[in-house]
Amino acid sequence: MKDKYSSAKREQYGQQLASQLCDQHFGGTPTTTLDGPAVLRFTPIRQVNLFVVQQLLAQWTAEMARLRSPYFDFEADDVRQALTQFMNILSRRIKLSRAAFEPLLARAISDTLGVATDPVLTFEQKLLGNQPTATAEQLRDALRYLDLDKALFQGFLDTLTPGPALERDFLVNRFRLYQEANYKNHAPLEKIVAEFNQLRPLTTAELTEATDSLAAPQAAPPVAETPVETPVAGAVAPAPAPAVETPPAPKETTAPPLPEAAPAKPEAPTPPTFVASPTPAPAPIPAAPQETAEPEPERRPLAEAAASTNVPLHEKLRAERPTSAPLSETLRGERPSATLAEKSAPKVESLREAISINQRFSFINELFNGENMEYHTAIQHLDTLPNADVAKRYVTEDLAHKYGWVRKEEHVNKLLKLLDRKFA
């Protein structure tokens, strides 16, 4: 990439668009809040929604880490199970005010543009995080938050040897070389810019460093001083030297300014508290409520929804989504809390209740192509089967063939282990 893109321009655009979308959603009711399903459908750009979730779960992890105390045994099996149950219940109670949500949204928009403008930085921030070392498995686990350009990052992870932890600098340098060699597989910036342009005007030129700041004025060239000589008696005065014209200083040129971001609502920031598992890997969200989930209505872009009627956007969004569907029913990831339940491995009565919020995230995203209703249908059917053999055949033959589970052994094996616990 010969063009250099400005992170400041990305952040500025992210703040402007986040403010605009929040104005549309929250409207004249600043006390409106967002739940999990609303977060995952807030914009028509799925990558933005995923990055909001990733930040949310990072906050959750930090809160969980603060919960741990040296005075109590947090490694005891009953404590682990209680914490897992607590996390599952809490994940169904996501409640984000505008003050808490808007900064997350602004950062997610900027980071989404960053995937297309700076893949190396995305690899460092979104896959490596703050880890000094990482295994291929850990990086692949973090890949669930990437939707844009996922094939590029997946291709790199496939070149890594499974098992050993690798140094951060080694991984970053190796990814840089891989990205340069496979740049043709990189999603074009123009495509994602066109998607954002439908929400708020944006061009690729507005993201380059060339328009990032005022051009520095050039200094005028120094004027040579003519020495004053003392006349000597009887000497003939020399002819006066021709006057040296000083060229005018060039005028300052000013880059076209970007529109200023709309001011945020004056609501006091009261971000919600989220609890997460103790390890730093980002964990996903919400478990499904007991009721049977309703089919999800067709999504429409926020901008289109706002323009189609005078009804406030937040009311349309509330009407579109099922009120009881938790975030976990749409997106899930495999995080440390899944291992909490697996270590003690007690017998379970229902797969729906046994699958943790993190496992749901992983199964939906990796096995069911992000379709929560198809995941829900398959799990319900597995719960009705009479024994482990029939259930495992349904997984390894019917579902594997239907969804083309190639190189999905890790996730399939976790589902099979849950079946062993159910039919133990």
* pLDDT by residue, tens only, the chain of 424 residues: 456 899 999 999 999 999 999 999 998 787 889 988 889 889 999 999 999 999 988 888 788 778 888 888 888 888 888 888 887 777 778 889 999 999 999 999 999 999 999 999 999 999 998 889 999 999 998 898 999 989 899 999 999 988 889 999 999 999 999 999 987 777 789 999 999 999 999 999 999 976 444 344 444 454 444 444 444 444 444 444 444 444 454 444 444 444 444 444 444 444 444 444 444 444 444 444 444 444 444 444 444 444 444 555 545 445 554 444 444 444 444 343 444 434 446 677 788 878 877 788 788 888 988 887 888 889 988 988 889 899 999 999 889 988 989 878 888 988 998 888 888 7
pLDDT for 2: 52
**Cα separation, 220 vs 388, whole angstroms:** 85
Enumerate the domain spans of the chain.
Answer: 7-197, 332-422
Q: What is the pLDDT of residues 336-380, one digit of tens each?
A: 344 443 444 667 778 887 887 778 878 888 898 888 788 888 998
End-to-end CA distance of the chain: 56
CA distances from 336 to 64, 83, 165, 278 (A): 12, 12, 18, 8
Helix, strand, or coil here: 227? coil
Identify the burial level of 313 via C-beta atoms within 10 angstroms of its C-beta, where 0-12 means exposed, 13-18 middle and 19 or more buried.
buried
**Cα separation, 65 vs 146, whole angstroms:** 25
pLDDT for 260: 47
pLDDT for 409: 87
Phi-psi group of 95: left, alpha or beta (phi > 0 → left; psi -120 to 50 → alpha; rest → beta): beta
Q: How big is the CA angle at 316 (ends 311 and 321), to the nearest 5 degrees?
A: 170
| Cβ neighbour number for residue 256 with a 10 Å cutoff | 7
- The answer to whether 77 and 266 have CB atoms below 8 angstroms apart is no
Q: 65-78 burial, b if ≥16 CB within 10 A, otherwise e?
A: eeeeeeeeeeeeee
pLDDT for 169: 95
CA distances from 154 to 151, 178, 195, 357 (A): 5, 11, 23, 24
